[in-house]
């Protein structure tokens, strides 16, 4: 159990990495988008969803676009992460993005990889999307060999722990839209309780399967209006993004501190 004096120990963000929609594939580019009030929203590409090919009695109910990353999500250096080509094909693209962003977050922290390997580092991942598992599991007769390992939500965290040889807790959290926030809260609690010395907090979101998401209407959204400084709306908007944070208890590692939580 945590000591009373450690309940509010400051948690330091010692490294981070992001891949956000539009031009925001680095922290610097993301900050520039915020300063210039750019929006990454764009219409659906016709090779993904062609509205003109469908007829609906309520055509206004469909969300007209989404927030897409510019980089092809299929690009992945499998051999670098110790993954065979066959296994990479069945690996959830969210898992691929997390490996890349978690690696860059550690690089950003300045912590040598040899020091991180084998350490008491925990992994907390917040993710609500499980689209890829549905895609690869459509035909039971053609089920890929590594589906259980590549498309399972639990593997989003476990794959990171395995690759980096982290020996702390490894947990994937799904609380819908608050998944990343809840995972971050659990990560901070774990650091303060001494469950781990460092935390890799990951937050992927890829939604390749359209399904019911495209039918979420403006009137069905519980938010009355969301203002971002670049406009207001009350729709459900899909976003592709991934990010990773490296966290430590600032009292234990004061020299690494960049930000406090």
In the prediction, which pLDDT does 57 show? 61
Tell me the mean pLDDT in the region 194-204. Answer: 90
In the prediction, which pLDDT does 69 show? 83
In the prediction, which pLDDT does 196 show? 94
In the prediction, which pLDDT does 211 show? 54
Tell me the mean pLDDT in the region 196-221. Answer: 65
Decide if pLDDT at 66 tops 90.
Answer: no
Decide if pLDDT at 54 tops 80.
Answer: no
Q: Which residue has the tokens 């981070």?
A: 16
pLDDT band at 2; cut points 50, 70, 90? very low
Nearby residues of 242 by Cβ (< 8 Å), 6 or more positions away? 18, 19, 94, 97, 98, 100, 101, 202, 203, 204, 205, 206
Tell me the mean pLDDT in the region 21-39. Answer: 90
In the prediction, which pLDDT does 1 show? 43
In the prediction, which pLDDT does 137 show? 78
Angle at which helices 93-109 and 155-164 pack, to 10 degrees? 40
pLDDT band at 253; cut points 50, 70, 90? low
Mean pLDDT of the chain, nearest integer? 79
Tell me the mean pLDDT in the region 76-101. Answer: 90
pLDDT band at 60; cut points 50, 70, 90? low
pLDDT band at 168; cut points 50, 70, 90? very high
- What SS3 class is residue 199? strand
Decide if pLDDT at 231 tops 60.
Answer: no
d(CA 94, CA 74): 10
CATH class of 9-32+61-260: alpha beta
In the prediction, which pLDDT does 228 show? 45
In the prediction, which pLDDT does 144 show? 77
Decide if pLDDT at 120 tops 80.
Answer: yes
Structure tokens at 14: 């010692």
In the prediction, which pLDDT does 208 show? 58
Q: What is the dihedral of CA 168, 174, 178, 180, to 10 degrees?
A: 30
d(CA 199, CA 177): 21
Tell me the mean pLDDT in the region 208-237. Answer: 46
The predicted model scores a pTM of 0.81
In the prediction, which pLDDT does 251 show? 77
């Amino acid at each position: 159990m945590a000591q009373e004096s450690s309940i509010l120990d400051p948690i330091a963000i010692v490294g981070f990495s992001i891949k956000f929609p539009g031009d925001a594939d680095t922290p610097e580019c993301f900050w520039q988008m915020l300063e210039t009030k750019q929006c990454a929203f764009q219409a659906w590409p016709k090779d993904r969803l062609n509205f003109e090919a469908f007829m609906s009695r309520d055509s206004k109910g469909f969300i007209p676009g989404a927030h897409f990353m510019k980089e092809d999500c299929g690009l992945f250096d499998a051999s670098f992460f110790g993954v065979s080509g066959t296994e990479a094909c069945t690996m959830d693209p969210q898992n691929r993005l997390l490996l890349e962003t978690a690696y860059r977050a550690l690089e950003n922290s300045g912590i040598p990889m040899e020091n991180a390997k084998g350490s008491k580092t925990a992994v907390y991942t917040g993710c609500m999307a499980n689209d890829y598992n549905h895609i690869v599991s459509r035909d039971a007769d053609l089920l890929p060999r590594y589906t259980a390992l590549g498309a399972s939500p639990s593997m989003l965290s476990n794959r990171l722990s395995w690759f980096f040889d982290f020996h702390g807790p490894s947990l994937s959290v799904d609380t819908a839209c608050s998944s990343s926030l809840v995972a971050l809260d659990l990560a901070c609690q774990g650091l303060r309780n001494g469950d781990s010395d460092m935390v890799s907090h990951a937050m992927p979101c890829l939604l390749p399967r359209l399904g019911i998401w495209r039918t979420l209407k403006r009137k069905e959204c519980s938010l009355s209006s969301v203002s971002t400084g670049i406009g207001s709306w009350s729709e459900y908007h899909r976003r592709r993004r991934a990010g990773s944070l490296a966290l430590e208890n600032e009292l234990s590692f004061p020299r690494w501190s960049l930000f406090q939580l």
